[in-house]
Structure 1
Amino acid sequence: MTENIKKPKDVSIAKAKGRPMLTWVGKKPLARVRAYPAQAIERFDATAGGAVALQEADWSDWPKDVPKGGLLYHGDNKDVLAHLLANGFRGKVKLIYIDPPFDSGADYVRKVQLRGAKGTVKIDGEDYTLGEQVQYSDIWANDNYLQFMYERLLMLRELLSDEGALYLHCDWNRSHQLRMVLDEVFSAEFCRNEIIWKRTSARSDSKFYNHIHDVILFYSKGNAPTFNEQFTPYEKAYLDKYFGMKDADGRRFASKDATQAGLRNGATGTPWRGFNPASKGNHWKVVPTELDRLDQEGRIYWPEKEGGWPRLKQYLDETKGRAIQSIWDDVMPVNSQADEREEYPTQKPVTLLERLIRSSTNPGDIVLDCFIGSGTTAAVAQQLNRRWIGCDINKGAIQTTAKRLQELMRAQASTAGMPQQGDLIGTSEPTQQPCQLGFATYRVNDYDLQIQHNEAVELACQYLGVTRTRTDSFFEGTQGGRLVKIVPFNHPLTPLDLEAVRNELKTRPTEERDVMLVCLGWQHDARAWVDSYNRNRPVNKLHVVELRTDRKLGGIIKHEPLSAQVSAQRVGEGADAQLVVELQDVVSPTIMQRLNLEQGVFRAQITDWRAVVDCILIDTQFDGQVFNVTLADVPERKQDLVNGRYELPAPPAGSTVAVKIIDMLGEELVVTTAI
C-alpha cells in the first residue's frame, strides 16, 4: 500500500473554530502531525483470487495508491489517522464511530478460555487496563485525557466528508467534558443529538442512583449530513390502543385528526361537507378536493355518532413504525450467552452499530473506527455493504477483528451471486453483495516493538508484586511502601534515567517514600551515581533491581516464545500435486505460566496442544514480508479445535510455505518451509 513512501511527512491540521472552549493545563492545538509510512503485514482474500460479484461501489474517491478493500491498522491511532490524511483520505469518510476509553477507572481485561470441551479452564488474557497500554500510559490525569481526545477529534474532523457524521460513545464520567470538546472542534451548531443508550436494566453496586446508560454524542461536519430515518415496530399495547379499528377487508387502521391548528385564508380553511375547521380555530390538513379523493378511496373515517368530524385513516400496513428517538432502550448489550460475543471487554452489540451505520451512511460509503476493539464496526459495515477502515493500538484487538472479518467474508463469498437469505449479523432484511471480500492489515510506526516492551513491563510488575497506580504518570506503582519506576527495557540504567527520577521527586516535596528502580542492566557510572545519591539521605533512597542478576528478584525476565513442530511437503507430481501441512505439537510457555500462576500449587497440564491454539493461517507462497492468507483454520466455537492437518494445491517448486500460529493469548509464531 505505502511501500513507495520512504520517509515520514508532516500533515497540516486546521484550527478548531467552535465555541465554547474548555480549558485544561497543557492544552495546545494540533497544527501539524508527523505521518509515518505503513507496512503491510497480512492480506486476506475470501475469493482466493476468483471473480465474485460485488456491489458496484463508486471507488473513484478511493486513493489510487491504496488497494481496494478493507483496511486494518495496528498502531497508535494518532499515527494511523495522520497516515490516512497523508495518503488521500482527507474528506472521504462518511461515518466515524469511536468508543474511546471512558476514563472510568475500569480494567479492560480480555477473558481467555482455552479451546476444548465445556469446562476448560479460563485465564485472564492480555491486560487492557488503560494505564498499561503505551498510548494510554499517562492519560488518567484529567488534563492528559482531554488533550488525548482533543488531538484525535481534530484529526477525525479532517477525515470526515462534508456530509459526514461522527458518533462518540462515552459514559456519564466524561460526557459533559467531551461534549464541550466536540463543540469546540465541530461547533455547537453541528451537535445533532445526545443519544442515551440504556445498556443494562439494573445494577446494585452503588449507594446512590445506579448508572445504567451510556451516552452517544452525534455531530455532523456540515449543514446537510446524510441521515436515513430509522423505525422500530410498534408495541402491542400501542397497536391495540391506536390501531384497534378494521376495514371490511380486515385492514387495521388508526384514525387521525383531519385538521391542524391555525386559521388559513386559502382552500384548506374553507368548509367541507358541512364541517368548518375555522369553528375550531383550525384548518384542513389537505385541500377539500384531496379530501374528496381520499373519501372515494375509503380513506376517510366517519365516526358513527351524529356530527362526528371526519378523520383520516392511517393503515398499519402502510406505516413504517415508530421513528427512533434519542432514548434507546431496545438495544440489548452483548451478554455472556450472545452468539456474537468475542470475549472482548468493551464489545458493543451489532444492533447498536447497525442502527448508526444505516442512519448516517448509504451502501458504498466509508466507515471508520479508530478504536476498533473486537471489530463490531467493521463487521457491521462489511455486512451492510459499506467500505471500512479500522485501527487499534492493541494487537489482540487486531487479531480478534481480523479473525472475525475472515469468517464473515468467507461466508459472504460462499453465497456470492446467490439469493440472499438474510444477513449474518442478526438483521431480518435481505442484503446486497458486499463492497469487498478482502482486506489488508498494516502496521504503522513499528508498533510491535512498543507492545513487546509494554508486555515486559507488565510481567515485571506481576512478579515483583507491584500495585499499579492509575493516576501517576511517572511511577508505575508501589511495592512494599516504595514507589516503583521501571526503566525502559531497551537500554540499561543510565545517569540520565536517574536524573529524571531526582527531578520528578523535586516536584513532590512532601514525598518521603523510597524508590525501587527496575531495569535490565546498568551502566558502570550509574552505580556510582546511585551510591553518591543515597549517601546520608534519610528519605527517597534509590533501590535498584536488575531483573537478570538481582540475588533475590533476578532471573524473572526470560520470555519463552511460542514453539511448534510443523511439517510441509509436496505429495504427488504435476497438476495433481498436493501440499500437505501438518502440525504435530504447539507449546505456549506463556499460557502454561499463566495457568500455573492462577492454579497455585496444582501444576497445569494440557493434554491436547490444540487447546492453546486460537487459529492457524497458511501462506503457500510467502515472500518474507506480507502474509497472504491462502487458508485460515478459525474454529467457529470455543469448544472446537483447529484441524492441524491441511491439504492444498501445491505451489510452484521453490516456494516458501509459511504457517502462522496464533495462541489463545494472541502470541504469534510463523514457521516457514521451502518446498
Structure 2
Amino acid sequence: MTEKTKKSHDVTIAKAKGRPMLTWVGKKPLARVTAFPAQAIERFELPAPADKNAAGSADCDWSDWPRNLPQGGLLYHGDNKDVLAHLLANGFRGKVKLIYIDPPFDSGADYVRKVQLRGAKGTVKIDGEDYTLGEQVQYSDIWANDNYLQFMYQRIQILYSLLSDDGVLCLHCDHNVSYMLRCVLDEIFGRDRFINEVIWQHAVIGAGRGIYVRLPKAHETILIYSKGDKYTFNTDEKDVRVPYKDRITENLQQDEKGWYYTRGRTGTDNPWSKDPRYLRTYVDIEKGKLVHDSWDDITTYRAQGDEYAGYPTQKPEQLVRRFISLLSSSGDLILDCFIGSGTTAAIAQKLGRRWIGCDINKGAIQTTAKRLQGVIEQQRDALEAKGKQRKLVADEAAAPAPCQFGFTTWRVNDYDLQIQHNEAVELACQHLGVTRTRTDAYFDGTQGGRLVKIVPFNHPLTPLDLEALRAELKTRPDEERDILIVSLGIQQDAQQWVDDYNRNRPVNRLHVIELRTDGKYGGFIKHEPMSAEVSVSREGDQLIVDIRDVLSPTILQRLNLDQGVFRASIPDWRAVVDCVLIDSRYNGELFNVALSDVPERKQDFVMGRYELPAPPSGSRVAVKIIDMLGEELLLTFDV
C-alpha cells in the first residue's frame, strides 16, 4: 500500500453541469471531499484453470488499474461517501464504465431480513416451534426530503466524477423520489445526457382486501444518464431481447422466407392492401425483439428460489443482467455503492466484467462475499469441466470468461461494529427508555419531555453533528423542548461546543449521554463474543482443522434460552454457523481464504472437519467462523 492510501486528504469534485436546479433546505454542493485510507481485511482467490484454453480470455485490460491494488473484485465496507472519495483519490477517477445503484427510496420503512438457524425444516424445534432468530434490521429508510436529497446529491456528484467519459449511470428508484432525483440528475449530468426512463412492471405490492384509497403499486423506475454523448448500447445482446413468440401471439406465422407478422387488413384504403406481401413484417425468431422502455417480462419483485440470499430488497438477477448487458461490454468496470445482497457484483462477475461494490451494512458485505465466493467457484468448476471435455449445459458453454477469480474485502475509515447500527439504536432506545417516533424524520424519539437524537454509532459526536442539529432546530422555531443526544464516543471540541451552546439558553438545552462512559447509562453495550472448540494439526502433508463446538451468546439471547436448554434442544452446533473460512498462511493482517465452507442451502450444515495442504512449518493458520447473525470469530494457531 502506498503512502497515498495511508493518510486522509481532500479530493476535488466536478461541478454540476445543468439547469434547472432543485432547491431544498441545506443544499450544498460538494467542492471537496475527504478521502480516508482503506484497510484490506480479507482476500478470496482461486487459481485459474490449469488449461489456458479452458480458462478462456475475457477482454479485461488491467493496464489502467491502480498499482497499489490487487487485480480483481473490490468489496468495501463503509459509508459509501467515504468509499467513493477513497476511490477518487486512489486511481479510479474517470475509470468506471457503468454504475448501477438501488439506493433507499425514502419509503419510511425499516428493511429486515429473517434469520433462522441451519438445518432441515422441522428438525430444530422446541415445544413444537421452529427455531427462528427473528428479524435483523438491515437498514432504515426514514428520511426528511431535505436530508434524503442532500444525501443523494453528494453521492451522485462523486459518482459522476468516477464515471468514464463514455460511462453510464442507472439509478433505481420509485414514485416516492423519482421526480426529485430526475431533477438532481438533470442538474449534475445535464438534461441532454438523459437516455431513458425505464418502467419496470413487477408483481403487485400492497394489494389486499378491503376498501382501496389508492391503486396498488406495480412498478419502479430506473433513470439512465450518460456522462458524454457516446456510450455503449448493445442492442443485439440476448439479455435485452425477448422472444417474438412471447410478444406476438395472434398473427405470428411462417412461410418459405421465415417467420413474420402482419399489419393492417386487406380490403382497406391501404394502397398496398391488394398485395398481402406488403403487410408482412419478417422477424428473426431466434434473435427476438429489442425491449422497449416499459419492461413487463420480469414479473417477480424480489429474487426467488436459490437466487434469494435473504436480503429484503434483493432484485432479480435478470433485471440487473439486462442493464449490464445493454450498457457495458466484456472487461468493463462496474460499480454499485449500495451493493446490498451483491446482485450487481454477481452479475458483473458472471458476464466477464470487473466490479467494485460497497455498503455501510456489515451484513450486506458478508452476504455479498459469500455469494461471490459461490459464483467464482462455479465459474472455475465449469471451466475445469470444459477443459476435461465434459458435456456442459448451454448456459455454461456460452458464459463469458471471468475477468478475475478473486476479490478483496476492505474497510474504509475504520468502519466496523460488532453489532448492526440499526439494532444498536433499538437496544439504546430500550436501555434509555426512549419512545421511538417513526413520523419524525430527524429525531429518533422522546424521553420524558425531551427530544432524542441518536448520532450514528460509526463515529463519535462531532461539531458537524451538532451544527446539523442546530440547523434542524432553526426549522422548528416553536420547538422549546430540551434535546438528549446519544452517542458512542464524543470529541473534546464537541463537548466544548455543547457547553458554549447551553450557556444562558432557557430552551433547547442539550444533554449528552455517551454510551461507554456515562455514569448512569454508560456501559450497556456489553458484547459477549462467540467461542469455539477448534483444533489444528498436521497429518503428513495434510493440515487438519477440526471444529468440535461453537457457542454464540448473541443467538442464545435471541432465542431466550440458557446454554443447557439450548444444548438439549439443538445438539448440533452447526445449526448456528453460517460459514467457515480458513487461511492456512495468515499474516496477521489480510485474511486470505484458502478454504471456504459455504453451504448453498439453508438446510445444509457446514462440514466442521477440513483437510487441506499443509503450509510450511511455523505458519500461522486462521479459522474464521461466522454465525447466522453475521458475527465473526477469528481463531489463530501456529503449526
TM-score (ref. length: structure 2): 0.84
Larger Rg: 1
Aligned counterpart, 1:262: none
| Aligned counterpart for 1:329 among listed residues 286, 296, 300 | 296
Q: Secondary structure of the residue that 1:415 maps to in structure 2?
A: helix
Deviation at 1:472, TM superposition (A): 4.7
Which amino acid in 2 is paired with 1:77? N
Decide whether the 8 Å contact of 1:42 with 1:629 is kept in 2. yes
In structure 2, what is the equivalent of residue 360 of structure 1?
327
| Cα shift at 1:173 | 0.4
2:586 match? 622
CA contact (8 A) 2:531 2:551 kept: yes
Q: 1:211 to 1:446 in 2, by over 3 A?
A: same
1:246-296, CA deviations, whole angstroms, 9 ceiling, x for partnerless residues? 33x9x5434579xxxxxxxxxxxxxxxxxxxxx9889xxxxxxxxxxxxxx
Question: In structure 2, what is the Cα distance between the partners aligned to 1:459 and 1:224?
Answer: 51
Answering whether residue 435 of structure 2 is matched by residue 467 of structure 1, we say yes
Name 1:80's counterpart in structure 2.
Answer: 83
- Map residues 372-387 of structure 1 onto 2, 5 A cutoff: 372-387=339-354
The answer to whether the 8 Å contact 1:54/1:436 transfers is no
**Counterpart-to-counterpart distance in 2, 1:519 and 1:431:** 49
Query: Is 1:561 the counterpart of 2:561 in the alignment?
Result: no
Q: Secondary structure at the match of 1:147?
A: helix
**Partner of residue 35, structure 1:** 35
Distance change (3 Å), C-alpha of 1:142 and 1:619: same
Match of 1:195 in 2: 198
* 2:392 counterpart (421, 437, 440): 421
Alignment of 1:58-457 (within 5 A): 58-119=61-122, 120-130=130-140, 140-201=143-204, 203-204=206-207, 207-229=213-235, 230-235=240-245, 238-241=248-251, 243-247=252-256, 251-254=258-261, 308=275, 310-311=277-278, 314-317=281-284, 320-333=287-300, 335=302, 337-416=304-383, 418-419=385-386, 421-422=392-393, 430-449=398-417, 456-457=424-425
Per-residue deviation, 1:59: 2.1
Question: Is this contact kept in 2: 1:334–1:340, CA < 8 A?
Answer: no
Q: Which residue in 2 is equivalent to 1:55? A: 57
Q: CA deviation at 1:493?
A: 11
Give 1:633's aligned residue. 597
Deviations 1:399-427 (A, max 9, x none): 0000000011011111225448358xxx6
Q: Does the aligned pair in 1 maintain the 2:490–2:514 contact within 8 Å?
A: no
CA gap of 1:571–1:19, structure 2 versus 1, over 3 A, is same
The 3-state SS of whatever aligns with 2:383 is coil
Q: What pairs with 1:558-637 in structure 2 (closer than 5 Å)?
A: 558-572=526-540, 577-596=541-560, 605-637=569-601
Deviation string for 1:369-401 (max 9, x for gaps)?
Answer: 110000000101111111111111111111000
Question: What CA distance in whole angstroms lies between the structure 2 residues aligned with 1:39 and 1:78?
Answer: 16
Q: CA 1:61 to 1:461, structure 2 compared with 1: closer, same or farther past 3 Å?
A: same
Instruction: Give the whole-Å Cα distance in 1 for the aligned partners of 2:527 and 2:534.
Output: 22
**Which residue is 2:44 aligned to?**
44
Unpaired runs of at least 5, structure 1: 132-138, 258-278, 283-302
SS in 1 for 2:165: strand
Letter matched to residue 226 of structure 1: T
Contact 2:302 2:313 in 1 (8 A): no
Say whether the 8 Å CA contact 1:469–1:476 is kept in structure 2: yes
Q: Secondary structure at the match of 1:348?
A: coil
Q: Note closer, same or farther for the CA distance 1:449–1:331 as it changes in structure 2 (3 Å cut).
A: same
- The 1:189/1:590 distance shift into structure 2, 3 A limit, reads same
Which residue is 1:484 aligned to? 452
For residue 11 of structure 1, report the CA deviation from its aligned partner.
Answer: 1.4
Secondary structure in 2 matching 1:128: strand
> What secondary structure does 2:348 align onto?
helix
Q: Check 1:511–1:604 CA distance in 2 against 1; reply closer, same or farther (3 A cut).
A: farther
Question: Identity percentage over the alignment?
Answer: 60
1:107 alignment partner, SS class: strand
How much does 1:202 deviate?
A: 5.5
Task: For residues 488-530 of structure 1, give each alpha carbon's deviation from its aligned partner in whole angstroms, at most 9, with x where no partner exists.
Answer: 889999999999999987975644656666678999xx9xx99
Change (3 A) 1:373 1:492: closer
Paired with 1:382 and 1:495, the residues of 2 have a C-alpha distance of 42
- CA separation in 2, counterparts of 1:409 and 1:393? 24
Q: Does 1:665 align with 2:616?
A: no
How many residue pairs get aligned? The number is 604
Where 1:331 maps in the other structure, the secondary structure is coil
User: 1:286 aligns to what?
Assistant: none
Cα RMSD, aligned residues only: 4.0
Asked if structure 1 preserves the Cα contact closer than 8 Å seen for 2:100 and 2:171, the reply is: yes
CA contact (8 A) 1:518 1:547 kept: no
Structure 1 residues 20, 542: CA separation in 2 closer, same or farther (over 3 Å shift)? closer
Partners of 2:65 and 2:566 lie apart in 1 by 56
Shift of 1:475: 3.8
Residues 544, 356 of structure 1: alpha-carbon distance in 2 compared, 3 angstrom cutoff: closer
Q: Whole-Å Cα distance in 1 between the matches of residues 475 and 28 of structure 2?
A: 23
Q: Which string of whole-angstrom CA distances, capped at 9 and with x for unpartnered residues, describes residues 46-84 of structure 1? A: 228967624242222322332211111111111111111
Deviation at 1:235, TM superposition (A): 3.7
Residue 22 of structure 1: aligned partner: 22
Moved more, 81-90 or 326-335: 326-335
Contact 2:338 2:359 in 1 (8 A): yes
CA shift digits 1:189-219 (9 cap, x unpaired): 1111111111213632652122211110011
Cα deviation digits, residues 99-152 of structure 1 (max 9, x gap): 011111111112111111214422345422336xxxxxxx71221211111111
Q: 1:580: Cα distance to partner?
A: 0.8
Give the secondary-structure state (helix, strand or coil) at the position aligned to 2:14. coil
For 1:579 and 1:140, the matched residues in 2 are separated by 52
- Contact 1:368 1:389 (C-alpha < 8 Å) held by counterparts: yes
- Distance in 1 between residues matched to 2:637 and 2:567, nearest whole Å: 34
Change (3 A) 1:449 1:589: closer
Does the 8 Å CA contact 2:302/2:314 hold for their aligned counterparts? no
Q: Helix, strand or coil: the match of 1:156?
A: helix
In 2, Cα distance between the equivalents of 1:336 and 1:75?
25
Does structure 2 retain, via aligned residues, the 8 Å contact 1:548–1:556? no
Q: 1:453 to 1:182 in 2, by over 3 A?
A: closer
Q: Distance in 2 between matches of 1:473 and 1:344?
A: 24
- Which position in structure 2 is the counterpart of 1:274? none
Residue identity in the other structure for 1:460: A
Partners of 1:617 and 1:625 lie apart in 2 by: 15
Instruction: Tell me the secondary structure at the aligned position of residue 25 of structure 2.
Output: coil
Stretch deviating more after TM superposition (452-461 or 641-650): 452-461
CA contact (8 A) 2:622 2:637 kept: yes
CA distance in 2, matches of 1:491, 1:60: 37
What is the identity, as a one-letter code, of the residue corresponding to 2:220?
A: D
